[in-house]
Amino acid sequence: MTLAAATNENLAQISNYLIYSSMAVYTLAFLAHIAEWIFGSRSKVARTAAALTAPPGAAQPAAPSVQVRSAGGTTVLDKPKVITRAVSGTRDVPDGPGAHGGTEKGDLYGRIAVSLTVLAFLLEAGGVLTRALSVQRAPWGNMYEFSTTFSTVAVGVYLALLLARKNVRWAGLPLITTVLLDLGFAVTYLYTESDQLVPALDSYWLWIHVSTAIFCGAVFYLGAVGAALYLFRDSYERKLTLGGKPGPFATSVMERLPAAASLDKFSYRVNAAVFPLWTFTIIAGAIWAGDAWGRYWGWDAKEVWSFITWVAYAAYLHARATAGWKGRKAAYIALVAFLCFLWNYYGVNMFVNSLHSYAGVE
């Protein structure tokens, strides 16, 4: 074995070690997020619920106070910072206090969860980088590499939104849960030894086309989480409006989330922001296909489902911009569009024969 080959093998082993280490830290972050939800104040949640359950026509009670940290201290606000109008135009609902329930103890666990997520992200990113160094190419030449890179980018986007002071900590628990499932599936069923690419993939377009596809998928994922939680929160708000009394578990969870209108707006904005980049991804793939196979479009399974995904998100954006299709109907389309993206990756690669079968499980 040459020195270069031995070095590459060592880098591959280091990559595996970093990926497994990140999974351990992600598990701790998952437990910290659970603790954040458990130890959040129920009394704060109940006060928020009271603000939403006033009889129709009655004056709304004062919005609950929210504790926020500022420069190492704690400041009490008279009302939540953001108050949004529901999509239907019939509800003025304040955003919930967050998973921590507005308490210092719950917030402490939430901050620990975010800190652990940052550490796990750095470890996983290190694993992706050393994988790239071990093969001296882009680290997304097969399903294992795509999965690890995808989860890394998804967490990176989430942390970037937190750094920009966006109200997205509510996505922490579903995100970390999904990342653990993704990494567990990757290391168990998708793992492939480091190797060089087939000639068709040995192109600078691998960096351009696949990297943008990974980024788009990560942002689409966050949009899908927002759409799914919107459906639950909207149902909850509708039930309160009609005088219903949700159970204690639903109350404890739903009242800490942003208002349905906020979740709907978040999902729309992130999907709309990344849709042009997804369009570019398909165009870049067509150009790459022209270089590799001598034709820009051949109705290969991967190409077809990439286009179907594009159509689904285009339909979502069109529906969301049309007054009659805001809210729940648009959210359903957003979820269907993301399912198309998932099938395009997992389903086509694992169950359909195509020119992209190089990315399958080996």
Could you read off the pLDDT of 292-327 as tens digits, one per residue? 777 888 888 888 999 999 999 999 998 888 766 778
Contact 281, 274 (CB under 8 A): no
Predicted confidence band of residue 260 (pLDDT cuts 50, 70, 90): very high
DSSP state of 60: P
Q: Is the pLDDT assigned to residue 88 strictly greater than 50?
A: no
The predicted pLDDT at position 361 comes to 42
Question: Which stretch, 10-19, 41-50, 201-210, 352-361, has highest mean pLDDT?
Answer: 10-19
**Phi, psi (deg, nearest 5) at residue 67:** -95, 130
pLDDT score for 323: 63
Containing 253, the helix (H) or strand (E) segment is helix 248-254
pLDDT at 341 over 90: yes
> In the predicted model, what is the mean pLDDT of residues 195-202?
66
pLDDT band at 346 (very low <50, low <70, confident <90, very high): confident
Strand pairing of 92-94 and 83-85? antiparallel
